Amino acid sequence: MQCAYYSSGKCRSCTWLERPYAQQVADKFSRVRNLLAERVEFWQQPSLSAESSFRNRAKLAVSRVGGRGAPLTFGLAPLGGRPQDLSDCPLYLPAIRVALPAIKRALRATDLRPYDPATHSGQLRHVICTANGEGELMVRVVCRTTAGIVPIRNVAKDLRAELPSLVYLGVNLLPERVALVEGSTEVPIFGDHLEMPVAGMGLRLGPQSFFQTNTAVAGSLYQTAADWADFAARSLADTGNSVAQPRRAFDLYCGVGGFALQLALHGWAVTGVEVSEDACQAASLAARKLGVDANFVVADATQWARAQDFPQLVVVNPPRRGIGSGLAALLNERATHVLYSSCNPLSLARDLEMMPALRATRGRIFDMFPHTPHVETLLLLSRD
């Protein structure tokens, strides 16, 4: 992939950009296999990404070169130097690249000043723009205080007229002097969610919902998980250990329900568990629309699992820190099959060491983040 920002030195976020793409994938695969000490019995071919136009979300700092009335820049936060505008980054979906100039014009019309971290003044901190494969957009403007809400509401009608595909506009508040992208308070201007079509599902993304930034590879991840779940169920039936239909599964750390809903489409009765009430509500609405057998519980995954009789299959998709010793001990003791999706090979390897009763029968890496060392790994763990 050619990138003018990289070649000019304006952005070096894609640290592996100079490696040929095939070499990037081979290096990631080798690293994951080495970290797992060859514990996986069978590796499926890696799931590849497009090399450009794959990111469904842009998180950009708002800056300005010059005084009031000067154009805004969307890009890297300035650290004592000139702000760098990255709004035409070739990683973004085309719908995002098209939308960002219109968002700049709208914010410029508000007369709100970009945030200055040195003085903790100004309003406009970040713009977060998410797009689905149909070009629909969710735009969130991160402001320092509530003083940003009315000016942005005043330009909402004009922005919507310029971007007919805009289905959600909101103001996120980040009053603290911290190096974060967004805060915990969200004030909708219009809309309430963005529907993300993926792998035959319509996932409902709320303003603060987590979703993989590479929609196509996320779809491959969900479909692979469902195929392996069906394989696990057949293996139980072949040994005479299958429980009565319908097949049952837990999806721990379920988020907006990607794994749970995909399993449900394959005939599984699924219970998803997630600490976010908004995510569970979104997953429940998506399940109702799909007409599948999936319900969602707002709870801590480990605490909830302790009180349950385990089904045939447990899916875990934890944050980067992994599942931890408590849940690992429960799975090691009670689980028959586990689908473990990890964005951090180091925590995955550590968690596997705590589950010696489960062997990794299948593995696959998913290249969610080309041109970087980051990688997603899916394992199927089975009890002997």
HSE at residue 320, side-chain half, CA atoms within 13 A, is: 3
Is the peptide bond preceding residue 246 cis, with omega within 30 degrees of 0?
yes
In Å, how far are 80, 106, 182, 315 from 141, measured between CA atoms?
23, 11, 9, 34
Residue 236: Cβ within 10 Å count: 17
Amino acid letter, 369: F
In Å, how far are 48, 199, 356 from 273, measured between CA atoms?
29, 21, 25
HSE at residue 346, side-chain half, CA atoms within 13 A, is: 4
Q: What is the rounded distance in angstroms from the CA atom of residue 183 to the CA atom of residue 58?
A: 16
Strand partners, 251: 272, 315
3-class DSSP assignment, residue 189: strand
Query: Cβ distance 265 to 292 under 8 Å?
Result: yes
> Which pair of tokens denotes residue 45?
């071919």
Q: Is 307 left (phi over 0), alpha (psi -120 to 50) or beta?
A: alpha
Q: Which of 294, 117, 329 is nearest to 201 (CA)?
A: 294
Q: What is the rounded distance in angstroms from the CA atom of residue 53 to the CA atom of residue 86?
A: 14
Q: What is the rounded distance in angstroms from the CA atom of residue 286 to the CA atom of residue 275?
A: 18
The dihedrals phi and psi of 305, each to the nearest 5 degrees, come to -65, -30
Residues 6+ apart with CB under 8 A from 84: 5, 10, 11, 73, 75, 76, 78
In Å, how far are 126, 198, 325, 330 from 334, measured between CA atoms?
45, 32, 14, 6
Is 343 part of the annotated catalytic residue set? yes
Residue from 14, 89, 280, 343 carrying the catalytic annotation: 343
Catalytic residues: 343
